Amino acid sequence: MKYLLVQEDEDGVEQLWGRCAGVEGLFVDPVPLPREILTLRGCSPDGLLSEVLAEPDVSLRSLGDVAVEVRDDQQSVQWWTLLGAVVVAQQPHPDDPARYDIVLGAGVRKDESFFELPATPRFELFAGTTVAAARAGRCSAVDGLFEPRADPAPVPMELIGCEAAEPLLVGTQRPRRWTRDRADLLVLDRHGAVMASRTVGLSITGARPSVLGDGLEDITLTDGGDDRPSPAARPVWSEWYQGPPTAPNMWAPYDAQGRAAWLDLTTRAWRVPAPRPDRSGGEYHLDGRFVTDVPGLHCAIAEALLGPGRYFGREWNAFSDCLSGGFGVAPPFTLTWHDSEVARRALADVVEDPEGRLSYFEEVVERLERGGVTVVLR
């Protein structure tokens, strides 16, 4: 059995609902969102958006993914993502020729909603939505952003060769009357340790005798969840299935997407076994030969401080949090970064700093030093 289906009870204790030999539909690409037309009103462009607007005669002016932060006078109230945003048209804003009305085509996804929408919201734009998102401007309104949208159709998942426990057994007997919420699908490595966890819906479309026989069942879940890994992550998961990494730089052969999948698996690895008290002092050595992108940088830092397959942040905010302690190593200590010029050159154009002063590499070094780390670049 390679998978466990569990659900926490009211006391936070995981209850076993079933064990399965296989899963079909664990690796899927997200369903593309329908394309929509939106208009950024009274926009003051910055960064990438400013560069794109400077070339009005160029067709297919792509912005990639754009994050929209909706704010009141004091704080963020909502976050949206405009997926695959493309500039369709632009014109000067009627009330201020120094600003623009910009027509975009994009898929629209609502990410977070913290508070009620204010009467006069402000809109901040960022190019990129994961690591190294850079400021792209601000605008006074976004026409079309708050339109009602239907939820995307769920993508099913097949649990193969399941040994159902109570109360999942009840659901397989009467799937049409089954109205449960969600559970966690735990993915085991070949040693039986949990290597990953994904949330799945517990609505059961059907159950039938398993193709594996022996009294097992194949169960179809109506909704396999929206945080499933991409098919591109499969080779990384296959490597981790053999057990937690034990040698350095095992992440290095993968591209940026594969390295991001590697980091995703480390987020659970740091909790098992329970984290040890923070160590301070001493010297650590970072092998910088393969730090050619942002995920690779975070793989290398975590490996230098804690060893192969460990976690020390997967993007800027998480990395900054880890430096505050609680993850096994805390400043002060010395970090000797070998072949640091590789990262300096590879990340020269990756900028998260809103003022555009520092590259991602330079900002990481500055954050380390500001947190009490002595950084030696070699």
Query: 166: pLDDT confidence band, cut at 50, 70 and 90?
Result: confident
The answer to whether residue 164 scores a pLDDT higher than 70 is yes
Burial 178-202 (b: 16+ CB within 10 A, else e): beeeebbbbbbbeeeebbbebebbb
The answer to whether residue 132 scores a pLDDT higher than 70 is no
Return the pLDDT at 333: 97
The answer to whether residue 308 scores a pLDDT higher than 70 is yes
Stretch 313-336: mean pLDDT: 93
Contact between residue 40 and residue 101 where contact means Cβ atoms under 8 Å apart: yes
> Any idea which of 18-32, 169-183, 327-341 has the lowest mean pLDDT?
169-183
pLDDT digits (tens, 9 = 90+) for 37-54: 999 999 999 888 888 888
Return the pLDDT at 269: 62
Query: 175: pLDDT confidence band, cut at 50, 70 and 90?
Result: low
The answer to whether residue 370 scores a pLDDT higher than 70 is yes
Return the pLDDT at 354: 56
Homologous superfamily of 232-377? Barstar-like (3.30.370.10)
> Any idea which of 215-219, 270-274, 360-364 has the lowest mean pLDDT?
270-274
The answer to whether residue 252 scores a pLDDT higher than 90 is yes
Stretch 152-177: mean pLDDT: 79
> Any idea which of 149-158, 165-174, 184-193, 243-252 has the lowest mean pLDDT?
165-174
Q: Read out DSSP for 94-152?
A: TTEEEEEEEEEEEEEEEEEE-SPPPSS-EEEEEE-SSSS-EEEEEESEEETTT---PPP
Return the pLDDT at 197: 93
Pairing of strands 14-24, 157-164: antiparallel
The structural domains of the chain, with segments of one domain joined by +, span: 3-28+156-228, 35-143, 232-377
Give how far Cα 8 sits from Cα of 163, 175, 181, 188, 203, Å.
19, 21, 11, 18, 17
The answer to whether residue 136 scores a pLDDT higher than 80 is yes
Pick the closest to residue 336 from 298, 373, 293, 290 (CA basis).
Answer: 373
Q: Is the peptide bond before 235 cis (omega within 30 degrees of 0)?
A: no
For residues 374 and 378, what is the distance between their CA atoms, to the nearest angstrom? 13
Return the pLDDT at 130: 53
The tokens describing 327, both together, are: 């993850």
The answer to whether residue 273 scores a pLDDT higher than 80 is no
How does the average pLDDT of the chain come out, rounded? Answer: 89
Query: 310: pLDDT confidence band, cut at 50, 70 and 90?
Result: very high
Return the pLDDT at 219: 92
Pairing of strands 141-143, 157-164: unpaired
Return the pLDDT at 341: 97
For residues 258 and 22, what is the distance between their CA atoms, to the nearest angstrom? 23
Q: Read out DSSP for 189-237?
A: -TTS-EEEEEEEE--EEEEEE-TT-TT-EEEEES---S-PPPGGGHHHH
| SS3 label, residue 343 | helix
The answer to whether residue 211 scores a pLDDT higher than 80 is yes
Contacts of 132 (CB under 8 A, 6+ apart): 294, 315, 316, 350, 351, 352, 360
Query: 217: pLDDT confidence band, cut at 50, 70 and 90?
Result: very high
> Any idea which of 1-15, 137-151, 158-172, 354-368 has the lowest mean pLDDT?
158-172
